[in-house]
Amino acid sequence: MKLALCALLLLSRIHESLSWLSSHGQCLTKSSLRSSYDEMEIQDFDDGEIFEDDDEVSYEELEARLGDWDERVARLNTVHLVGRVGNSPEPRYFDDGKVVLNLSLACRRKYHYAERGAMGIKSGEEETDWYGLELWGQTAEYASKYVNKGCRVGAIGTLQIDEWNDRETGEKRNKAKVVVREFDILETRAEADLRRQNSRGPSFYTGDDDEYHPSKGSSGGFFD
């Protein structure tokens, strides 16, 4: 008898719980809780306004909504380049003692052999992209002393856009450049000598970047 009463009481409690849930909306599942949490995060992020994918927002409006940059978050304007120098270094010195060096860098696009086969590109016929490098201070002086046209180098820096008005037409123009903060020469003296010996004609970029291998008797450094 007691067992039957306990079972009846349990069923009654379950019925009451189901009735309460039906009167207060649908059951909360993990997915709905996750969705609600995400929505709360978005609302907290932009002070009550939720960004919609279809909204067209100007850069100024977006900047105003986002506020100041959180310095704890890394800025992702970082460029890594490896290629060959396309001009002879000519540093410029200013009255205040500063020095700047502008280099052009040719970077050949690399493809897997299967990609070359699919696209019909032969080895050595890959497209070459050109980048403008801007070096300052000791980095500029170092490159001016040890780098020459055709030298293979590596550079790490930030992408910046120069803007100006054309003096003749008055049109606004812009040009991208990489302001270098780290710079390395990626060939030994033996490799540099071999490159000069193999140079033919006005173009220095006739061979593949992997054509010049480090000499077995060196450690791979520039001053070996």
Does position 153 have pLDDT exceeding 70, yes or no? yes
Looking at mean pLDDT, say which of 15-24, 44-53, 134-143, 162-171 comes out highest.
134-143
Q: How confident is the model at residue 217 (pLDDT cuts 50, 70, 90)?
A: very low
Radius of gyration, CA atoms only, the chain: 32
- What is the predicted pLDDT for the residue at 28? 44
The Cα 165–Cα 153 span in angstroms is: 33
Please report the domains of the chain, with CATH numbers, ordered by start residue.
79-204 (2.40.50.140)
Residues present in the chain in total: 224
- What is the predicted pLDDT for the residue at 130? 94
DSSP bridge pairs for 175? 162
Q: Tell me if 39 sits within 8 A of 50, measured CB to CB.
A: yes
Regarding pTM above 0.85, the answer is no
The pLDDT > 90 percentage for the chain reads: 37
Q: Tell me if 163 sits within 8 A of 131, measured CB to CB.
A: no
Nearest to 150 by CA among 184, 105, 211: 105
